Amino acid sequence: MQTNLQLISSPHVRTSIKIVSTLNESHQSNHQQQPLSSGKIKRLVLTQEGRTKLNIYPDRDFYSYPRFVTHVDDGFISTLTNLYRERLRPDTEVLDLMSSWVSHLPSDVKYKRVVGHGLNAQELSMNPRLDFFVVKDLNQDQRFEFESCSFDAVLCTVSVQYLQQPEKVFEEVFRLLKPGGVFIVSFSNRMFYEKAISAWREGSAYSRVQLVVQYFQSVEGFTEAEVVRNLPNAQENKSPIGWILRLFGLLSGSDPFYAVIAYRNFKPILDD
């Protein structure tokens, strides 16, 4: 695990709610009351240019037909499922942002409620772990109709690269999380190139991790972001052609795994 990453300098990245407590008295004594600004956006990370996409048509049009495919390989999925097993407690409430027909949650763990979100109802209806789902374009409307402090965990898998208003989305996630709730953002090097934002398309693996770290830092109240990496074997083909094929998901092999994790207000101590 690696943390304490320094901010990057990029032409696409800017360099410049009162909490309803659900904590018991022992938690309250260990954590100071949050300032009124907690959960609000402190600064914008992206420039206007950094938010642009090559395909300017509405995302609802792009995702209007279902894609019953797997967007990452088995190694990535196994790593992610193990991470969820480690970080998500059973019998809790989970919101799966930008989800699809596939669930990466451990099949043998029971959760109190799993709510899905996405842009294609057919895909979401096929996801066996969802109790119900919401169809919404987060690039047009970042607000959900759930009450504040509704979820113990929010997940976003291989989709953060498509957010044009990530600061507002992370602000909304903060509102939805219970104090001590976790937000896990995972991604690899694959993408729909024409739908990814410019700041992501033109970045490196390192800068993309830094970008997600800064999304967390842009909202007052998240804990220091933790970075988890699981990189493929260094002997894999690194030729320009191989890189291009992997970028578009046309070359088999190990997908690099990245996850950036932070908590609302504080990181709870979980029982083993």
Spatial separation of the C-alpha atoms in residues 116 and 98, rounded to whole Å: 8
Token digits of residue 165? 């208003």
Residue 132: which pLDDT band, with cuts at 50, 70 and 90? very high
Spatial separation of the C-alpha atoms in residues 5 and 213, rounded to whole Å: 8
Instruction: Using the predicted structure, report yes or no on whether residue 252 has a pLDDT greater than 80.
Output: no
147 DSSP assignment: P
Domain at 41-263, CATH from 3.90.1310.10, 3.40.50.150, 3.30.300.30, 3.40.50.1400: 3.40.50.150
pLDDT value of position 61: 78
Check if the beta carbon of residue 226 is closer than 8 Å to that of residue 262.
Answer: yes
Distant-in-sequence, close-in-space partners of 174: CB < 8 Å, separation ≥ 6: 17, 39, 183, 219, 221, 222, 264
Residue 32: which pLDDT band, with cuts at 50, 70 and 90? very low
> 19-28, 129-138, 152-161: which range is least confident on average?
19-28
Domain ranges for the chain: 41-263
Spatial separation of the C-alpha atoms in residues 185 and 156, rounded to whole Å: 5
> 136-150, 196-210, 239-253: which range is least confident on average?
239-253
